[in-house]
Amino acid sequence: LEIAEHKRDEPTAWLPDLIYTGGRFERGLALVTNGAGRIERIAPASEERVRTVRLAGRALLPGLVNAHSHAFQRVLRGRTERRTRERDSFWTWREMMYSAAKRLTPEDLYDASRMAFLEMALAGITAVGEFHYLHHSPSGEPYAEANLLAKQVVRAARDVGLRIALLRVAYARSGYRKEPDPAQARFIETDTEEYLHRLVQLDQDLRAQDEGTRSSWCGIALHSVRALPLEYLRRVSLFTKGEGREFPVHMHVAEQPAEIEACLEEHGLTPVRLLSEIGLLSERLTAVHAIHLTDEEARLMVQSRAGVCVCPTTERNLGDGIFRHGRLFLDGPHALSLGTDSQAQIDLLEDARELELNLRLRNMERTILAPAQDESASALAARLFACATTGGAQSIGAPSGELVPGRAADFFTVALDDASIAGAGLEDLLAGLVFSLSRTAIREVVVGGRAIVEAGRHRAQEETVARFRELQERLWGA
Ligand SMILES: [Zn+2]
In the predicted structure, residue 1 carries a pLDDT above the cut 60: no
Catalytic residue, chosen from 108, 341, 347, 410, is 341
Determine whether 289 is an active site residue.
Answer: yes
In the predicted structure, residue 157 carries a pLDDT above the cut 70: yes
Q: How far apart are CA 454 and CA 446, in angstroms?
A: 9
How many angstroms separate the alpha carbon of residue 455 from the centre of ligand 1?
Answer: 32
Q: Strand, helix or coil at 163?
A: strand
| pTM listed for this prediction | 0.97
How many angstroms separate the alpha carbon of residue 456 from the centre of ligand 1?
Answer: 28
253-283 tens-digit pLDDT: 998 999 999 999 999 999 999 999 999 999 9
292-319 tens-digit pLDDT: 999 999 999 999 999 999 999 999 999 9
Determine whether 132 is an active site residue.
Answer: no
Geometric angle at alpha carbon 191, from 261 and 105, rounded to 5°? 90
Tell me the backbone φ, ψ of residue 27, rounded to 5 degrees: -95, 165
What pLDDT, on a 0 to 100 scale, did the predictor assign at position 332? 83
Confidence of residue 212 (pLDDT cuts 50, 70, 90): confident
Q: What is the mean pLDDT of residues 214-239?
A: 97
How many angstroms separate the alpha carbon of residue 270 from the centre of ligand 1?
Answer: 19
Do 70 and 104 meet the contact criterion of CB atoms below 8 Å apart?
no
How many angstroms separate the alpha carbon of residue 436 from the centre of ligand 1?
Answer: 26
* 3-state per-residue secondary structure call for 3-65: HHHCCCCCCEEEEEEEEEECCEEEECEEEEECCCCEEEEEEECCCCCCCEEEEEEEEEEECEE
Catalytic residue, chosen from 250, 252, 289, 334, is 289
